[in-house]
Amino acid sequence: MEKKIMLTIEKMRNAINEKNLKNLTAHVDVDKFLNEGYDEVIDELAINCEKFHKMYPHDLLFKFGGTALRFYNEKFRKIHLGFVKKTMDAYFDKNLIAPKSFISNPINFCGIELGKLLKSLSCEVKKISVENSRAIVDVEIFGDNSSYGRMWGKLKFKFEFEFEEKVGVWKLKKILNVRELVAPVLEMAERFWPSEWDLGIKL
């Protein structure tokens, strides 16, 4: 069973490297992955809003408290998830042309930058635990010596896979340790994402 899961992970890795979205979505429940991940991230940001405001006082997201943060993200949830999905689609577009600036085309710009980040990363499976049709896979994702790789550093992920008998494949469903990843990923985002990019984005 572990060999089949390792094969699934290899297929996912190849799909990302080859920019084959169809092959990736055959092994990833994208909607569940993004929707549940988004909600967990927002909950963690709201719970720790005061702490993050002290760390990043320039970021307006944390200025008005956890209740306001939840309200804002609930109101713009569809737009935020749409931005993520469109950025993913842009990365998988083999004919994507890099725009001159972020403001000129935020989606394509982020798609290009996502490609640079992914190119700088490697992963190593540390542990696979299987019980019936569910598997938990511990993976370490680490960066190379490029600027993106150094920014990423090393992060440990705990992925949940489920075996879908109808199609006969193991499918990635969610990240089980989202909450512990929020702080380090937020720190990366604060370094990478200039606040002025939040202004005038049209999707």
**pTM of the full structure:** 0.89
Distance CA 133, CA 127 (A): 17
- pLDDT < 70 stretches in the chain: 194-203
pLDDT given for residue 141 in this prediction: 97
Distance CA 69, CA 59 (A): 12
The two three-digit tokens of residue 134, written as one number: 């569910």
Orientation of helix 66-75 relative to helix 30-47, angle to 10° = 160
pLDDT given for residue 203 in this prediction: 43
pLDDT given for residue 134 in this prediction: 96
pLDDT given for residue 200 in this prediction: 44
The two three-digit tokens of residue 12, written as one number: 């996912």
The two three-digit tokens of residue 200, written as one number: 């005038």
The two three-digit tokens of residue 96, written as one number: 């994507």
Tally the C-alpha atoms within 13 A of residue 151's C-alpha that lie toward its C-beta. Answer: 16
pLDDT in tens, 165-186: 988 999 999 999 999 999 999 9
Average of per-residue pLDDT values in the chain: 93
Distance CA 113, CA 160 (A): 27
* DSSP for residue 128: E
